[in-house]
């Protein structure tokens, strides 16, 4: 597990910064809730001023946004967006950096199979995501309980929060797959941002046009927090699709990585 530990060490600062940022974001949002909860009617009037399309795109559901869970659900549009960026950056980076930073000649001439390299790196990346989500869940729960005005369903809260983890897993897997398929990745950031914002645009477009099948094209929308709030469960077809996305991306990654030619710098 030496590669695993090395990668954890290498991504320590990155993970802490992103975790703190996501936590900061949710705490900021939740801290605004008491003001909204107190003066629900005027808040709704302000939101009515936004065009319907914008509200759909941002996940603002007027009938529920003044409840804690409803408000929390609204914040998740932004949170999953940032979470996806974090996962995509580490996904596209963790394998391809050996080539970019030219350490491939070191690591890949060690007595270790490429399969094992890929496995340990995937586990390391997944571990950072787990860490982020555990911290996020803990702090969000504490904050939610602090700012609540009425009791809320803890189970639903948990389910909504865990959607962050699922979205991040999908983007992590897709990121790794992209990084092994593309012949050369000079910089991880442009492609990560591009892909995530691309999916966000599809999601926004899909939300405004009400086109359900379009949701399958954008992993950001596989887990709809509004639906979870209403029904207390995930949507099975999307869960299955999500699992398929992760499984396919990872399988392709293993295959391509094993056969890839690693050229000299």
Binding site for another protein (CB under 8 A): 2, 6, 10, 101-106, 108-113, 116, 259, 261-265
Tokens linked to 262: 């690693």
* Nearest to another protein of 52, 258 (CB atom): 258
CB of 227 to another protein, least distance (A): 43
* Nearest to another protein of 90, 195 (CB atom): 90
**Calpha distance 68→52 (Å, rounded):** 22
C-alpha dihedral over 25, 204, 249, 246, to 10 degrees?
60
* Nearest to another protein of 31, 103 (CB atom): 103
CB of 124 to another protein, least distance (A): 14
CB of 195 to another protein, least distance (A): 25
Q: Among 162, 22, 132, which residue's Cα sits nearest to residue 82? A: 22
Place of tokens 């571990």: 127
Q: Are 225 and 241 in contact (CB under 8 A)?
A: no
* Nearest to another protein of 51, 183 (CB atom): 183
Compute the C-alpha angle 102/107/113, nearest 5°: 135
CB of 257 to another protein, least distance (A): 13
* Nearest to another protein of 104, 125 (CB atom): 104
CB of 188 to another protein, least distance (A): 14
Element (H, E) at 239: helix 236-259
**Calpha distance 52→5 (Å, rounded):** 49
Distance of CA 83 to the CA centre of its chain: 4
């Amino acid at each position: 597990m030496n590669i695993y530990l090395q990668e954890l060490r290498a991504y320590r600062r990155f993970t802490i910064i992103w975790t703190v940022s996501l936590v900061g974001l949710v705490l900021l949002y939740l801290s605004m809730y008491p003001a909204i909860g107190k003066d629900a009617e005027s808040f709704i009037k302000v939101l009515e001023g936004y065009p319907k399309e914008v509200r759909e795109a941002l996940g603002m559901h007027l009938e529920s946004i003044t409840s804690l869970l409803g408000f929390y659900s609204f914040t998740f549009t932004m949170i999953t967006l940032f979470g996806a960026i974090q996962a995509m950056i580490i996904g596209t980076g963790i394998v391809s950096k050996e080539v970019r930073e030219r350490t491939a000649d070191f690591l890949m001439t060690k007595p270790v199979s490429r399969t094992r390299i890929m496995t340990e790196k995937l586990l390391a990346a997944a571990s950072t995501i787990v860490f982020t989500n555990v911290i996020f869940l803990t702090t969000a729960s504490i904050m939610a309980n602090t700012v609540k005005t009425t009791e809320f369903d803890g189970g639903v809260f948990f389910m909504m929060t865990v959607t962050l983890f699922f979205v991040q897993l999908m983007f992590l897997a897709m990121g790794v797959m992209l990084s092994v398929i593309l012949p050369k990745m000079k910089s991880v950031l442009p492609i990560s941002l591009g892909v995530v914002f691309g999916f966000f645009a599809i999601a926004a477009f899909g939300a405004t046009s009400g086109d359900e099948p379009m949701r399958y094209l954008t992993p950001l929308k596989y887990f709809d927090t509004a639906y979870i709030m209403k029904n207390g469960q995930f949507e099975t077809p999307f869960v299955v699709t999500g699992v398929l996305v992760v499984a396919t991306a990872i399988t392709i990654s293993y295959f391509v990585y094993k056969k890839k030619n690693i050229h000299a710098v």
